[in-house]
Amino acid sequence: MYLLKDIPILFKMDALGLLFLMLTVSMWVMDHVYATEYLKHDKHKRRFYIFYALTLLAMIGICMAGNLITMYLCYEFMSLLSLPLVLHEQTKEALAAGRKYIFYSIGGAFLGLTGFIFIYTYGTTLTFTPGGVLDPGALAGHETAMRVVTLLVIIGFGSKAGMFPLHSWLPTAHPVAPSPASAFLSGNITKMGVLVMIRYIYYMVGADFIRGTWVQYTFIGLTLLTILMGSMMAYKEPVMKKRLAYSTVSQVSYALFGIALLNPVGLIGGLAHVIFHSFVKNTLFQTAGAVIHMAGFKKVSDYKDMARKMPVTMWCYTLASLTLVGVPPTSAFLSKWYLAQGSLNSGLPVISWLGPVILIISALLTAGYLISVTLKAFFPGDEYDYPCLDKKEPNLWMLIPMIIMTALAVLMGICPGPVMNMLTGIAGSVL
């Protein structure tokens, strides 16, 4: 099938696409199981499930895309089809969040479209090729323009990943969307922005084209700024789902930082964080949704003594939080270790030491905005006036996905061999 005479629609699976495909489908299933109870009495649940399934189909297309134009079309479909998930509640806040979401998504994609035009002009093919497809002869004299466009593409597709400056749709959209949608938006749709950036940087322009240039330094600077800014915003946010949204802004940029280092160790760390963050953030949004579903509490201050009422839910929250902080032997400790090593070994002035420093500061802030909730839930204090609360967990349709993802988030850190071997192979194939 051809979009134009020399521009085919191509689907082709490789190891990188398979990784994102398996992650996307598995998390979609977990959120779908959770949603069967969460949306049991929702009068618009049929519409939700239709667009939820169509969004998955578009994401599968992104994962299986074999060239730039196929990926771009599926990316645009994903943005349009996921919009009703944000608009689902149809409140004034949801409508405003939906407008912001689609504006940022389409605006970012238009910036990405400039990259397609330049690759079509100065590249040998639109098919994904490890190492890049730029034609040195055709590109001669236009290197600066190509690098400017590359940065625009990074910023544009970085909008879906929540990277500064196009990040603010995340804390706006997540609080108004149903919790299953929030989990999938944060845990997986943001990862499509990561995948698209990997494809463009490593498979289109090539890492060598921007390595050591102002483009790489700007990209790294944006990721580190986003990591720090997202953590600080999450630390002071009183609404639970919005706090988790700011956390996503910070944590997805961990993965982007690994990609921006342009070395194998950093790329392995970035890909590992994509996996581990997906499990953790889906879990955290599901626990927040469980508290809303069972108790109606939306603010962090409402979580005081919640562990006595919902012990399983709060233990899932706590273990997932410890994982995201990077406490060994949980999985995110491993990804952050690789990211720090990738930074230290990068040989980039200032960045080589600044990267690990920012990661440590962000980890401390992460502990502050997540573990503080655990302390409220388990240790409300002697002065707290304990009400008569019965234990009232959500039913198994909501509990089982949380328990499975929590267990895997921890176990992947204890037994990391299969995951890390796969990621090492992927990194070796593109660098």
What would the pLDDT profile of 277-321 be if each residue is shown by its tens digit?
999 999 999 999 999 998 888 999 889 888 888 999 999 999 999
Half-sphere exposure of 1 (CA within 13 A, CB side): 8
C-alpha span between 252 and 239 (Å, rounded): 20
Cα angle: 415, vertex 322, 376; to 5 degrees:
155
Q: Which residues contact 69 (CB under 8 A, 6 or more apart)?
A: 3, 7, 8, 9, 116, 126
In this predicted structure, what is the pLDDT of residue 386? 61
57: number of Cβ within 10 Å = 12
Neighbours of 14 (CB within 10 A): 16
| pLDDT, tens only, 76-86 | 999 999 999 99
What is the spatial distance between Cα 363 and Cα 186, in angstroms, rounded to a whole number?
A: 19
Integer Cα distance of 279 and 409 in angstroms: 6
Q: Which residue from 239, 215, 219 is spatially nearest to 227, judged by alpha carbons?
A: 219
**Type and span of the H or E element at 39:** none
Alpha helices in 88-236 (DSSP H): 92-122, 136-139, 143-158, 169-173, 179-184, 190-200, 207-210, 214-236
pLDDT at residue number 385: 63
**Nearest to 273, CA basis, from 366, 346, 172:** 366
Say how many C-beta atoms besides its own lie within 10 A of residue 36's C-beta.
Answer: 14
How confident is the prediction along the chain (431 residues), in pLDDT tens digits per residue?
777 777 888 999 999 999 999 999 999 999 999 999 999 988 899 999 999 999 999 999 999 999 999 999 999 999 999 999 999 988 999 999 999 999 999 999 999 999 989 999 999 999 999 999 999 999 999 999 999 999 999 999 999 999 998 888 989 988 889 999 999 989 899 999 999 999 999 999 999 999 999 999 999 999 999 999 999 999 999 999 999 999 999 999 999 999 999 999 999 999 999 999 999 999 999 999 999 998 888 999 889 888 888 999 999 999 999 999 999 999 999 999 999 999 999 989 999 999 999 999 999 999 999 999 999 999 887 666 666 556 688 899 999 999 999 999 999 999 999 999 999 999 999 88
The Cβ-side half-sphere exposure at 282, using a 13 Å CA radius, reads 37
φ/ψ of 190, rounded to 5, equals -60, -30
The distance from CA 192 to its chain's CA centroid, rounded to whole angstroms, is 8
pLDDT value, residue 178: 92
Map 19-79 to HEC letters.
Answer: HHHHHHHHHHHHHHHHHHHHCCCCCCHHHHHHHHHHHHHHHHHHHHECEHHHHHHHHHHHH
Q: Sort 239 into a burial class: Cβ within 10 Å, 0-12 / 13-18 / 19+.
A: middle
Q: What's the pLDDT at 143?
A: 94
Cα-to-chain-centroid distance, residue 206:
23
